[in-house]
Amino acid sequence: MQINAQRTGTESPLTNAGLSVLSFVEGAATATINGVRGAGNAVLSLPQLERENVALRAENQTLRTQNERLHELAAQYAAEVSVHPIVETNPNGIEARVVGYPPENESRTITIDRGANAGIRKDEGVLAQGGVVGRIAAVSPFSSQVVLVTDYTSRIPAVTRRGRYWGIARGNLASVRVEYIPQDAALKIGDVVVTGEGRSFHSGVPIGTITRIERGDANLYQTAILKPAVDLGSLDRVVVVPK
């Protein structure tokens, strides 16, 4: 077959087959050599790769910590800025930070980080962004206890912003009840109730929004149930205003 191919000047099938087999063998040999060489380089690089991996993990942890810190600083800044309008309206107000809630939750109170040394006195009003928080119940040199507007002992003169109907806002644990509103008062769901002029607050500070209306059996008074104007479960910064 080779002789005939040479005579006729054509490619021999044996030559083509041989070249194909040789090419396959050479490719396999090259791949094997490259694989062995790559594996050797990888083995030699393992210590360096491990050091780089450790360094990257440490850098990642540092960046994660910095990110969490930045989020906390942003939240603190937002809380501080939220009470600035209150201070502008009440120049003698004292800014404070909430530092504790009662774990047993028997009373609706909070602790703030300002006390008598900062000029805080008992029965002064406490405000936050949105409206009324409560009043100062007890004062120590460096901290004070605040009774929230939802506490059972809380009593605040209240008036509806629309219609100017008067009542007494009393805490009801998770809500506020405005009692002794005249039966003929045209209350509506969504009406805003604000403070009347009193010992702890000036008039016009939001207490909450009416969510339900209850009518008494004697048909003399009606009661408005309020959703507090301030989210009392997530307080951070407050302002104590002089009584």
Mark whether 193 and 112 lie in a shared domain. yes
Taking residues 183-202, what's their average pLDDT? 93
DSSP letter (8 states) at residue 106: S
Domain limit, last residue, from 50, 80, 110: 80
Mark whether 98 and 199 lie in a shared domain. yes
Cα distances from 78 to residues 66, 73, 95, in angstroms, run: 18, 9, 14
Q: What pLDDT was estimated at residue 29?
A: 67
Say if 87 falls within a structural domain. no
Domain that holds residue 207: 92-243
Domain limit, last residue, from 32, 57, 80: 80
**Residue 115: is its pLDDT beyond 80?**
yes
For 68-113, how does the pLDDT look when each residue is reduced to its tens digit (9 = 90+)?
Answer: 888 767 766 666 666 778 888 888 999 999 999 876 655 689 999 9
Instruction: Give the whole-number percent of the chain exceeding pLDDT 90.
Output: 49
Question: Is residue 241 a contact partner of residue 90, using CB atoms and an 8 Å limit?
Answer: yes
Mark whether 105 and 198 lie in a shared domain. yes
Q: How confident is the model at residue 63 (pLDDT cuts 50, 70, 90)?
A: confident
> Which element (helix H / strand E) includes 70?
helix 13-82
Mean pLDDT lowest among 102-111, 115-124, 169-178:
102-111
Question: What's the CATH code of the domain at 170?
Answer: 2.40.10.350
Provide the domain count of the chain: 2
Q: What pLDDT was estimated at residue 103?
A: 66
Mark whether 183 and 216 lie in a shared domain. yes
Q: What pLDDT was estimated at residue 68?
A: 82
DSSP lists the bridge partners of residue 126 as 134, 240
For 140-164, how does the pLDDT look when each residue is reduced to its tens digit (9 = 90+)?
Answer: 999 999 999 999 999 999 999 999 9
Burial of 61 (0-12, 13-18, 19+ CB in 10 A): exposed
Say if 85 falls within a structural domain. no
More confident residue, 53 or 117: 117
Mark whether 139 and 235 lie in a shared domain. yes
pTM exceeds 0.85 for this model? no
Domain limit, last residue, from 80, 100, 127: 80
Q: What pLDDT was estimated at residue 55?
A: 85
Instruction: Give the whole-number percent of the chain exceeding pLDDT 70.
Output: 75
Q: What pLDDT was estimated at residue 156?
A: 95
